[in-house]
Amino acid sequence: MLVQIGLFLVEAVFGFFVFMLLTRFHFQWMRVPFRNQIGEFVIATTNWMVLPARRVVPGLAGLDLATLLLAWLLLAAGLWIQTQIIGSELSAPALAAIAAVDLVRYSLYILVFAVIVQVVMSWINPYAPLAPTFDAVVRPFLRPIRRFVPPIANIDLSPAILFILLQVLLFPIGALRVAAAAL
C-alpha cells in the first residue's frame, strides 16, 4: 500500500509540473497568447524553474529549449524515483528514451484535452473568455483536416477526426515506450 501511495504521489507531483512545462513550451511554439487565466497559471507555476534554466540553455529558432529540457529532466527524475520505490532498475539510456517518448505522449494528451474542451466550449459558450485560447491550440491541427473534410450540414467533424487520429497515434507511442524500456 505504501508503495502505491509513493508511486501515486511521485506521478502526481512530477506529472503536474511536466504538463505545465509542456503547456508552456507548446504555447510559445504555437504563439498562443499567455494573457489569459491558463497562460498566467502556467507562467506562475513554472517561472521559478524556467527563468534560471534560460540563463544556461538558449532557445533555438523560437523554441524554448530550456522549458523542454526541464520537462524531459523532470520526467526522467520521476521515472527514476518510481523505479527506486518499486525496487527495479532501468539503464540510463532506457530512462532517457522513456522520458523522451513520454514527452510526446504527454503532448498528445494535452492536445486531446484541448480538443475536448474546445468542442464543449463551442457547443456551450463559444464566447467564453478561454475559448480563443483553446481554439488557438487546436486550430493548427484542425486546419489540414478541414481542407479534406468540409462541414456537413453545418456540423464540423474535424475535431472528431483529429481526436480519432490522436488516439490512433497513442498506440504506436505506447509500443515505442515499451521498446525504449528494453534498452
Environment class of residue 57 by beta-carbon count within 10 Å: exposed (0-12), middle (13-18) or buried (19+)? middle
Residue 100 has a pLDDT of 96
Cα–Cα distance measured from residue 170 to residue 164, given in angstroms and rounded to the nearest whole number: 10
Residue 81 has pLDDT above 90, yes or no: yes
Residue 61 has a pLDDT of 84
Letter for the amino acid at 150?
P
* Domain housing 149: 2-181
pLDDT tier, 63 (very low <50, low <70, confident <90, very high otherwise): confident
Phi and psi dihedrals of 60, rounded to 5? Answer: -140, 115
Residue 19 has a pLDDT of 97
Mean pLDDT, rounded, of the chain: 93
CB 106 within 8 A of CB 19: yes
Residue 155 has a pLDDT of 86
CA angle 7, 13, 16 (to 5 degrees): 125
Residue 59 has a pLDDT of 84
CA distances from 79 to 11, 58, 102, 110, 182 (A): 8, 26, 10, 20, 15
Provide mean pLDDT across the span 5-11.
95
Give the pLDDT confidence of 110-161 residue by residue, as tens digits.
999 999 999 999 889 889 899 999 999 999 999 999 999 888 888 889 999 9
Residue 20 has pLDDT above 90, yes or no: yes
Residue 182 has a pLDDT of 84
User: How many domains does the chain contain in total?
Assistant: 1
